[in-house]
Structure formats: structure tokens, C-alpha cells
A and B are shown apart, each in its own frame.
Chain A
Amino acid sequence: MDIQDRPHVLSYFQLTVVLVILLALTGVTVGVSYIHMGFFNVPVALAIACLKVTFVLLFFMHLKYEGRIIVLSFISTITFLIIMIGFTFWDVAFR
């Protein structure tokens, strides 16, 4: 069974820490936009955004405290999205 009986209420302190991290990462995003890294401009910005999303999912959306099936379900959705976008771009790339 994957039913999670144990409660997982996050304290205000934990939530505040996550919020501060997110705000700090927003600052980093703004900061790196002033640094010209050529090809790496977009990948770095996307990497920071992905890190922020991960924090939101893990703590604000409680994914960290869910069972394996819920985590697997979430990863599946992301995988499908990647495949759908990837295959479409693939067609354009080889046309």
C-alpha cells in the first residue's frame, strides 16, 4: 500500500528557509543575467530555474514526504513531457 498515514506538516521555520532559498536563487538568476557566458547563458538560467522548481515540488508540494508511487508518477509525467517535446523537435531537426 502506498497510502501515507503519517502526517507531514512542515513548520513555519522550514517553509521560511525554503522561501529564503528561492528568493536567493532569484537573485542569482538576476545576477548571472549580467554575466555574458555565450552559449551557456540559457542553460545556466534554466538550471537555476530547475533547482527552484525542485525546491517548490519537494517542500511546498510535499513530494519529499510522499510514497514511491506518487514520486514515480510525477517523474513519469516529466519524462513524457520531455519525450513529447523532444520527438517533435527531433522531426524539425532532421527535416
Chain B
Amino acid sequence: MTATPSFYHQSAPPGLSGIKAWLLTHDHKRLGLMYLGAVFFWFVLAMILGLALRTELMSQGRTIMGPGMYNSMFTLHGVIMVFLFAIPAIPAIFGNFFLPIQLGTDDVFFPRLNLFSWYLFMFGGLFAIVALFVGDGFPDTGWTFYVPFSIQNSKNVGLTVTAAFILGMSSMLTGLNFVTTFHRMRDKRMGLMQIPLFTWSLYATAWVQILATPVIGITLVLVVLERFLSIGLFDPAKGGDPILYQHLFWMYSHPAVYIMILPGMGVISEIIPVFSRKSIFGYKAIVWSSMGIAIAGSLVWAHHMYTSGMSDVSVFVFSLLTFLVAIPSAVKVFSWVATMYKGSIEMTPPLLLALMFIYLFSVGGLTGLVLGAVGTDIHVHDTHFVVAHFHFVMFGGTGFAFFAALHYWWPKMFGIMYPFRAAYVGAVLTTVGFLFHYVPMLIVGLQGMPRRYYDYLPQYEIGNFLAGLGAYVMCAGIVIMFVNLFMSFRKGVPAPADPWGGTTLEWKVSSPPPVHNFIDKPQIMDFPYDFKGVGEQLQPKDR
């Protein structure tokens, strides 16, 4: 495949072979792939659970499961998708793999800590699985674990929040590693405004991980203490405050939305200029908007609580702050579109998925304004509208960015190309299914159908049926995309070092990269998105 032995053929630390070379590795690339395997498992499991939920809702009354099982399944779907897919997917897989390379270095600052983070991630996932089979089974609280229900119910809440706590530790340590690597390990010739935008987005995300994750850790510990010791922190009868729990929970869980979406935005900022053969429009504006989203996004948590009984002054302030987040998000969207304007656009699966991201994320953002405004939020609070909105952001955004990243960096990670036709079919089916799935949910939500309800009134049946149908189409598209990628191993078409004409440092090393990333000292460009001469260098046979 390449003259230089790749990281698959050399272990780090040296001397390890077989399964030990993976389980004891310090190599950020191997760890990225280990996260890929784990995250893929959880994603497929949560997708199956989601499909079962939508199947249940396709007709009124009982379809395939009872109400208790339904409650536990939507909780499990939420917990897995949030804590085991959306949060770790892009930073832990692609961040681990590409951040050190984009910074021109050979590994992260704390390689052993990186391995420890992976074990914490696996351990947290194991706890979630164990919670299914011991005690009274998986909780039915929803992924938010709201008090007083989470404190009073008999299900296995303690074990599940412990799983979330451990997963939070993993996320926090990964963030710590990224911030330290960013400052201490990057090539000394690389100034702050020469850093690729994906790495900048990971840096902004890492700060949110470090600052916000401890809050959820403490909050989940408080839930466990309340369950077993009945301290009364959230119990008004003992002088506690149930709304305090919501403050603490959303203090992390809203910034967590940005932990999920910011790296996705970084992926899109890489893909758009490469396939437009044009320098990114507004590089500095994108950098500052990443930091702006990280900062402003950490100050808007209580917009989830307008109907909770919170003070009117707080409602007003948090609504105002929420609208401020739209500004840096819009800066990014406008910059991506402006980059494509008059560019030499070349359609590829990563670009198609990136374009779908922009569209779906924009719908998610605009429906978010409906929820950010207090008056309209009260009408749609806790309805299917909210569910559709956050799936537009989380799945249309993070999910599609994950698919785009997978198709963009697949040749680099595995050294092989994949067929484009099936990737296009999968991407289009996923998007069409996505719209059929979530647009009806927006509509039934506006009409008043509450979220998390097992059954509904007859007027919501058509919308729910269409949503279920869309779910099947969407899942079929996702399966086609994944099968296509897996089949590329069978065909084994070798990928060149730079199949797309990328300009950032990962495209300067062989595919897959050598164990220490760079054989020679990397050449640091004055500007990471300078496409002068790229078109001439790129040969058609490279595809």
C-alpha cells in the first residue's frame, strides 16, 4: 500500500503484537479506531431501539411493546445516543486520530491518559449494560434523570447514573488531553492562526468538556446520595429545591449539545473548502465563532426550564442569551456557503453529506429559535416539536457530520477507497428518510402531541405513521452507507496520501499514517487552506 510501514504494522509502545498492541496502545490513531469500534456498536444498538420506538408509535395502542418497556427503551435510546454516541463520536474518534497530525506532532500530550479514557468509556458502557440485567431493570426516567422521579422510582437509576458519571470522566480527560496537546505539543512554527479549523473546533469543545462535565458528575453523585441517604437537597419538604436539579443538569447538558455539534462544525469546515478548491471564507471568523459558541453556549442552560417555575427575570435573561448563540452559528453557515460561492466544486460523498448537514442543521437552528422565545416555547414545551428540533440538530447535525467525517477520512484511516455510487444512494436515502421521519414530528408537536407518551389521540396517527415509515427509510440508508464502507475492505482499492486534494497536514502523510505520523519534519503552511496548485497536482487516477 505504502513504502512506509503504517501504524497498523508498528505498535506504540514498541514490542507489542496481536491484541496487546491494541489494548495496551499509546498510539492516538489506534485509540481513535478503538473508539470507532465501540461507538459504532452503541450507535447501531441505539438506532435499533429508536426504530422499535417508532414502530410502537406507528399505530395507536399497543403495537410491539407495553408502556413500561416503552419508557425504559426511550431512556436507553437517549442515554446511549447522548453519552455513548453523540458526545464521543467525533472528538474521540476523529479528534484522537487527527488532532495530533493536524498540529504536526506525533501523539497527544498524555498518551497513557488517552488509553485510560478509552477504558473509562468501555467501563461506563459496561455499567449501562449491567444496569439492564440487574435489579429492577433499566430506568424509565428519560436521559434527563429529573428529580423527584429519579429519586423515588424503583428502577436501576443508581447504576445508570454511575455509568453516565464514568462516561463523563472519560470525556473530561479527553478534553484535558486535547487542550494540553493544543498548547504544548503543536509544531513550534505553527501559530494560532495557522491551525486547521477542525482542531480549533476540538479545542473549543475540549474547554466545554473540562468546564461543564464536572457539574454533571457532581449532580449525578447528588442523585445517588439522595436515593440512598435522602439528604433533601431537591426536596422542598426538607428545605431543598427540585429546580436546583434542573439548573445543575442543564448547566452541563446544554453545553453538551455544543460538545456534540462543535466538532461536527469543524468537520464541515474541513470538507467544504477542500471540495470547493477554495480557501475557507472567514477563517478567523470561524475560529472566533467556535470559541463564541463554546462561551455563549455555556450560559444558556435554563432555556430548557421556562415552564419549570423559574423566576421571570431568569426566563428573560436566558431567552436573550439563547438568541445570542444564533449569531456565531450563523457566522459559520454563511462562511461555508460563501466558501462555495464561485468555487470549483467537485461532488463527492463527503461533500454531499456536508451539504445535507448544512441544510438539516439550519432547520434545527431555526426551530431552536421557536424554543428560545419564551412565548412560543410555552406552547411547544415537552411536545414532539422539541424531539424533532433536537434530532435535527443532534442527528441532522452531529450524525451527518459523523457520516461526512467517516467518508472524508476513511481513505486516510484505512488506506483504502470506497465506491461512491452506494455512498450517494445511502446518503440520499438517509436524508429523505430523515425528513419523512422528523418533519411529521414537528407538525404533530405543533398540534400538541406530548413527547415520551406511549399512546396518543387519533388525530396524531397519520403523522406518527409517516414518521415511522421515514425511520425505516432512514435506517435503510444508514445501513447502505455502512455496508458500502465495510465492503471497501474486501475490494481493497488503495488510497493515495491525498485523494481529495486536501491541504492540512494529515494529507501530507501516507495513508494510513506511520506510527509517529511524520517521517520528515512537516512543512507548516502560512495558511492551512491555500489551494494554489492543488488542482494540477491531483490526478484523476487518484480516485
Contacts and interface: CB of A to CB of B under 8 A. Distances in A.
Interface of A: 1-3, 69-70, 73, 76-77, 80, 83-84, 87-88, 90-95
A94 B314 contact: yes
Contacts of B211: 77, 80
A78 to B, nearest CB: 10
B60 to A, nearest CB: 40
Contacts of A2: 183
- DSSP majority for the A interface? helix
- DSSP majority for the B interface? helix
A95 B311 contact: yes
B251 A95 contact: no
B312 A87 contact: no
Given A1-B191, A80-B298, A84-B251, A91 B311 contact: yes
What range describes how many residues of B lie at the interface?
Answer: 20 to 34
Interface of B: 179, 183-184, 188, 191, 207, 210-211, 215, 241, 243-244, 247-248, 251, 298-299, 302, 309-314, 317
A3 B188 contact: yes
A27 B313 CA distance: 42
B247 A88 contact: yes
Given A2-B183, A70-B183, A87 B302 contact: yes
A25 B260 CA distance: 45
B215 A91 contact: no
A2 B299 CA distance: 28
B227 to A, nearest CB: 22
A68 to B, nearest CB: 11
A67 to B, nearest CB: 8
A70 B179 CA distance: 10
Contacts of B317: 87, 90
Given A1-B191, A2-B183, A3-B183, A84 B215 contact: yes
Given A77-B211, A92-B241, A87 B184 contact: no
A94 B311 CA distance: 6
Nearest to B185: A3
B312 A94 contact: yes
